[in-house]
Copies of this chain bind each other. A is one copy, B any other.
Amino acid sequence: MDIGFIGLGGMGSAMALNALKAGHSVRVWNRSPGAAKALADEGATVVDSPDEAFAGDAVFSMLADDAALRAVFIDSGLLKRAPKGLVHANMATISVPLCEELAGLHAHHGVAYVAAPVLGRTDVAVAGKLNIVAAGADDAIDRLQPVFDVIGQKTWRVGATPQHANVFKLAANFMLASAIETTSEAASLMTGYGIDPHAFLDVISNTLFPGPVYQGYGRMIADNRYEPALFKARLGLKDVSLALAAGDAVNVALPVGSLVRDNLIEVLAHGDGDKDFAALGKVAARRAGRKV
């Protein structure tokens, strides 16, 4: 396929690279040019404007946040100039209202819009093992599927309403935040009794709570080591705040989310916003009176 790729951070670059390796023809654009150059070495065509990337059989974007998306796709007027019939897979984690707004604007300008946020961090993206949560018209997703198949291990189709995929993603990250917080509190309890938290996490992650979350984040908490960050605490706070806002819009409170949000604010207050999401473990330890 002839595809465009907009947004080449760690996640975007990894996805674009996997598309290249699978033989797709990829035009890439990024605000700052460094990342694009690295992909050029792998065969990507670097273009000078998002408009040039927003063409071909399909376009994929992975921008940082609502503001970046608004700048590139709305304020720039790009959508007005876009070729009719194109399909755009927006893989970023964004707010529900922006997703609704983008879906409406794409429809207005004759571009198919698929919300396709992903589960997995950079290492998973590099391995091409992401889980893609996709929502939009089925035929639009069909057209994206060959690329999704090399980017991810599985595409979860969750209906025709794009923002539903964003609700899935925000809820998933909310659950992730809760698991990290809970593990932090449990680890702190262990330390309070003079028990090595590694021993506890070994039992837990091999019995009730298998899988990557409790094991991976649990190890960082037990090791009390939060660098290098695989997913920064400040991005975790952003996502939890978006989940709370998503709930607010439909009168659903997420009390555990509120609690974690407050603790993530404490993480930032102590200068740890660029440490890993697991730095919630420092909050639990600090509150229990331990040196962190």
A243 touches B189 (CB 8 A): yes
A256-B211 contact, Cβ under 8 Å, with A167-B193, A204-B172? no
A189-B252 contact, Cβ under 8 Å, with A179-B182, A289-B270? yes
A175-B167 contact, Cβ under 8 Å, with A213-B208, A288-B269? no
- Partner of A192 from the list B131, B182, B199, B247 (CB cut-off 8 Å) is B247
25 example contacts (A-B, Cβ-Cβ < 8 A) are as follows A163-B193, A168-B195, A168-B203, A171-B186, A171-B189, A172-B203, A172-B207, A172-B208, A174-B182, A175-B183, A175-B186, A178-B178, A178-B182, A185-B253, A185-B256, A193-B246, A210-B211, A251-B265, A251-B268, A252-B265, A253-B262, A258-B259, A259-B259, A266-B288, A287-B287
**Within 8 Å of chain B (Cβ to Cβ): is A164?**
yes
A175 touches B208 (CB 8 A): yes
Write the chain B residue with the least CB distance to A254: B185
Best-surrounded residue of A241, A255, A288 (most CB of chain B within 10 A): A255
Give this chain's copy count.
4
**Within 8 Å of chain B (Cβ to Cβ): is A232?**
no
B203 touches A250 (CB 8 A): no
- Partner of A255 from the list B209, B259, B270 (CB cut-off 8 Å) is B259
Interface string of A86-122 (1 = CB under 8 A from B): 0000000000000000000000000000000001000
A177 → chain B, closest Cβ, in Å? 9
List residues of chain B with CB within 8 A of the CB of A191.
252
A131 touches B203 (CB 8 A): yes
A266-B289 contact, Cβ under 8 Å, with A167-B190, A203-B131? yes
- Partner of A269 from the list B189, B209, B251 (CB cut-off 8 Å) is B251
List residues of chain B with CB within 8 A of the CB of A211.
208-211
Write the chain B residue with the least CB distance to A186: B171
A195-B159 contact, Cβ under 8 Å, with A209-B175, A209-B213, A289-B271? yes
List residues of chain B with CB within 8 A of the CB of A250.
189, 192-193
**Within 8 Å of chain B (Cβ to Cβ): is A136?**
no
**Within 8 Å of chain B (Cβ to Cβ): is A261?**
yes
**Within 8 Å of chain B (Cβ to Cβ): is A133?**
yes
List residues of chain B with CB within 8 A of the CB of A179.
178-179, 182, 209
Besides A156-B202, A171-B186, 18 other A-B contacts (C-beta < 8 A): A119-B207, A159-B199, A164-B195, A167-B189, A174-B182, A178-B178, A178-B179, A185-B255, A189-B246, A189-B252, A208-B211, A251-B266, A255-B262, A255-B263, A258-B258, A266-B287, A269-B288, A286-B286
A287 touches B253 (CB 8 A): yes
**Within 8 Å of chain B (Cβ to Cβ): is A239?**
no
A166 → chain B, closest Cβ, in Å? 10
